[in-house]
Copies of this chain bind each other. A is one copy, B any other.
Amino acid sequence: MTNDYQFTLDFKVRDYECDLQGIVNNAVYQNYLEHARHEFLLAKGVDFADLTRQQINLVVVRAEIDYKKPLTSGDHFYVGLNFSMVDRVRFAFDQRIHRLEGDVLCVQGRIIGTAMNARGRPEIPKGLVEQLSQ
């Protein structure tokens, strides 16, 4: 299952990420998804923080997230990620969160992003797409 993804990252739920329902708060899954994307970028030699310092801002323009099963205290899970281009300036990250115990699909998301230059216009840095697609 794991090897169906271009990239995976292991996590464990931290208690402060759970809310008063005793399960991981909805917003926190976006943190997990973002961290997995940034680690994927790093693995491809693209450093999000460095780009930001160079005034190239990678931004999310749309998120679609299906919450299927909640994660809770102590759960081990991984985020799987596939990267593709939607068009010339937008990329898609298809991401899933799997709980290890029982191999349960917890969250499924599609995150659309782009890069903005210093003037706030979409502009993909030269070579970025090739780097991420290798």
Within 8 A of B (CB), among A41-94: 42, 47-49, 52-53, 57, 59-67, 70, 72-74
Interface size class, chain A: 35 or more
Residues of B within 8 A of A65 (CB): 62-65
CB atoms of B16 and A18 under 8 A apart: no
Q: List 18 A-B contacts (CB under 8 A).
A: A14-B31, A14-B34, A15-B19, A15-B35, A15-B49, A16-B19, A18-B49, A19-B19, A20-B22, A20-B52, A21-B52, A27-B34, A47-B73, A49-B73, A49-B74, A59-B70, A62-B67, A64-B64
Chain A positions within 8 Å of B, measured between CB atoms, are: 14-16, 18-22, 25-28, 30-31, 34-35, 38, 42, 47-49, 52-53, 57, 59-67, 70, 72-74
Tell me the number of copies of this protein: 4
Residues of B within 8 A of A67 (CB): 59-63
> When A28-B27, A74-B49 are in contact, do A57 and B18 touch as well, CB less than 8 Å?
no
CB atoms of B74 and A47 under 8 A apart: yes
Residue of B20, B38, B52, B62 near A49 (CB, 8 A) is B20
